Structure 1
Amino acid sequence: MDASENIETAQTVLRLMNAPHGQWPRREDLDPRTVIIRYQDFRDEIHTLRATLICLRQGVATVMVEIRRDGEKSEIPLKLHRISEIIDADTTWPGDSYFTKHLGYRFAWTTGPRDANTASLNIGKGAHAAPR
């Protein structure tokens, strides 16, 4: 492989699209609200969690959702692409649509920092679902 080749382009990354010109996306604090989350872990087991949403932040190759489970003091991170649904009051939101359609955040699959958050994108809130 030629040293000038960009190895990064072989992988896709789920990015939080809220920072201009390839900068690392900033943490997005959420209004604390209690929801029910259905989450698929690395063993493909489904868990139902009652938790308070804390923030969205960029993780390694994915967007992380920080939550606090009922009765616990510490926050735990969940990978956004592993959330199958969020139930808020009487509405069930599939996958990331709670954040994109209900709260207005943008996510996109990119090949990393070099092609994420460029000036040609409409940065900030605005519904844009990440492809699955």
Structure 2
Amino acid sequence: MSGASLSPRAWRGAPGGAGNEGSVAELCPTPPQSTPPGPTMPSQMEHAMETLMFTFHKYAGDKDHLSKEELRSLMEKEFPGFLENQRDPMALDKIMRDLDQSRDGTVGFQGFFSLVAGLTIACNDYFVRHMKQKGRK
């Protein structure tokens, strides 16, 4: 996949934007292939943002949304332990229903990000409890 379409420079002045594409673009990480070497290397958080964006677009067939099967494929490959450890065989259906804001059988980037955020919060809660049990903070 070429990262050119995801470049913040390509977002500036894009038709249909909210008028602040430039300011938003300044906050967005530049795709790896266009990152100049030197002191402006992306931070870990910028890499994390890139990973989220590129992972979504890697699985999204129409590049704006994930179908249920695309979401299943993403979950199986990127979060392999999550679906395997679900006791509820309808877990993916429930996730899809919760994330499908437009009720059209697809999940947009915002829904995908909500899923990742929710999983991250749950993992952090577990981590904090585990560390407290071990007497660490």
TM over 0.5: no
**How does the TM-score come out when normalised to structure 2?**
0.23
Q: Which has the higher helix share?
A: 2
Greater gyration radius: 2
Task: Give the strand-richer structure, 1 or 2.
Answer: 1
Report the TM-score when normalising by structure 1: 0.24
Highest RCO, 1 vs 2 (Cα 8 Å, sep ≥ 6): 1
